[in-house]
Amino acid sequence: MIDTNQLFPFLMSGLGFGAVYAMSGTGLLVLYRTTGVLNFAFGAIGAFGASITWSAIENNWAPDWVAYLMCIAFCGAVTLGYGLYLAPRYANRDDLNKMLGTLGLALILLGFMFNLWKTEDARVFRLPTGTRRVQIEWFCNSEGKECVFDARISYTQILAVVFALVVAAGVTVYLKRTKMGTAMRAIANDREISSLLGVPVRRIEAIAWLGSGVLCGIVGLLLVDLFGSLDVVLMTWFVIPALAPVLVGRLRHLWVAFFAAFAIGVVEAELNASTWAWPSLYRKTTAYVVAIVALLWFARKRNLVISGRSTR
């Protein structure tokens, strides 16, 4: 029923994707709590940034590390730009319309990517961490041939997990301990009252936009390495499964979302270890099923969700 030899290597691979879900989730969740915007363009911005990196590496515009920074800078700039110039125009709309606005941005970016790059062709760049790998061989028998835990993981996978932890922990500390963080939480509770009380709403929102944009650039780079190639369509709509853990965290609980992200990543990978055909055929539905179940579970308490904004 289950191929036990594969459980451990699949766990490792699942943790890598779980980490990317967790990082995306952190970026999406903090931005939503601060600004009320569920940024559907998260994936498109990351894919665009990664495409710029690809061009820079391919045409030798700059050393590789500068090319990586270009991706992060682009994502930060576009996200911040949207936050400063377009998002305030939706300030009086509900969360649904704010979300639709970011869908517009996603379509525009995707359209430009199709026009600027030959997206039908294979495009690849490897992070330095992607080509270096560690062999894990734990609890091996005397000949050292059969091991209980046997897998090969790349430094990108390790980097993703460590980075996801650092980001989530960093954001938690920032929100709890710093003045800006406290202000951010105040805005999340009530934007207008915070503003009346003298909290610099615009500045705090700008920080949230920028931070989320930088995260989006990092996620973009990591995804190219984890997917094995730069697939802009895949990356653009990666935001949809990445929303699943955020929804499990009810769009507010960072650590719930964080662990849900890893759980989804691992389950998605482990379903492949089944020797029955259908769990592995339909493994890609994991994130969606989790999101649907979570939403329906919350819908039991009707008053919670009668309006989009009230749950924040």
- Near other proteins in 129-148, by CB under 8 A: 130-131, 133, 135
- Least distance from C-beta 174 to other proteins, angstroms? 26
- Tell whether residue 263 is a contact of other proteins (CB under 8 A): no
- Tell whether residue 152 is a contact of other proteins (CB under 8 A): yes
What six digits make up the tokens of 78? 């576009």
Whole-number Cα distances in Å, 215 to 54, 73, 135, 165, 279: 18, 10, 29, 13, 32
- Least distance from C-beta 216 to other proteins, angstroms? 18
Q: Which is nearer to other proteins, 181 or 308 (CB)?
A: 308
Binding mask 33-62 for other proteins (x = CB under 8 A): -----x------------------------
- Tell whether residue 81 is a contact of other proteins (CB under 8 A): no
Q: How far is the C-alpha of 312 from the C-alpha of 298, rounded, in Å?
A: 13
Select from 48-56, 118-126, 137-145, 177-185 the region that touches other proteins (CB under 8 A).
118-126
- Tell whether residue 96 is a contact of other proteins (CB under 8 A): yes
Q: Which is nearer to other proteins, 119 or 182 (CB)?
A: 119
User: Is-contact 31 93, C-beta < 8 A?
Assistant: no
User: Is-contact 220 52, C-beta < 8 A?
Assistant: no
Nearest to 249 by CA among 16, 35, 10, 38: 38
What six digits make up the tokens of 135? 């062999």
Residue carrying the six token digits 């005397």: 142
Q: Which is nearer to other proteins, 13 or 214 (CB)?
A: 13
- Tell whether residue 111 is a contact of other proteins (CB under 8 A): yes
- Tell whether residue 205 is a contact of other proteins (CB under 8 A): no
Nearest to 151 by CA among 273, 276, 262, 241: 273
Please identify which residue in 17, 42, 74, 209 interacts with other proteins, judged by CB under 8 A: 17
Q: Which helix (H) or strand (E) holds 138?
A: strand 133-140
Q: Which is nearer to other proteins, 200 or 308 (CB)?
A: 308
Crossing angle (nearest 10°) for helices 4-35 and 155-177: 30
- Tell whether residue 267 is a contact of other proteins (CB under 8 A): no
